[in-house]
Amino acid sequence: MAFKMKEKSSLFGIDQKTSTCDTPVFNKKLEPGIGAEANRDGTIFVEESLDESEKEEAVEHEALHLKQLKQGKLAYTNDTVTWKKDTKSPARVYTRQMMNEGAKNLPWEKEVYDKTKK
């Protein structure tokens, strides 16, 4: 009887179709209404119940947020989100309790939505 080992990606919950070598994407049960999350460590969590096309769109969106993080334009903690449009602009701190996260009118979201299809 042959023994078949599982792939590492399935053991760790990595989505092979949307992951890249520098941005691992993890399938995970997220809070209701959350499709995906960009993390400061360069990973992306994507809601495990999304279909393949929804996952691809969500990862494309969150990858742009990762780019904003790497550029120093976007930063966040559990309580705040800090946005700096460019090197000449002052940083603006938003309190998470006072905002509708993911709203298309937030400046970091608007920038991403302007660059993506949806």
Q: How many domains does the chain have?
A: 1
Give a yes or no: residue 1 inside a domain.
no
Cβ atoms 94, 35 nearer than 8 A: no
Residues 10, 31: Cα–Cα separation, whole Å: 22
Residue 82: DSSP 8-state: E
Q: Which two tokens stand for residue 114?
A: 């302007």
Inside any domain, residue 3: no
Mean pLDDT of 7-16: 76
Model confidence at 1, pLDDT cuts 50, 70, 90, reads low
Residue 5 lies in a domain: no
Q: Order of strands across the sheet with 36-38?
A: 25-28, 44-47, 36-38
- Domain with 87, as residue range(s), is 10-115
Average pLDDT, the chain: 91
pLDDT tens-place string over residues 27-85: 999 999 899 999 999 999 999 999 999 999 999 999 999 999 999 999 999 999 999 99
Distance of CA 34 to the CA centre of its chain: 10
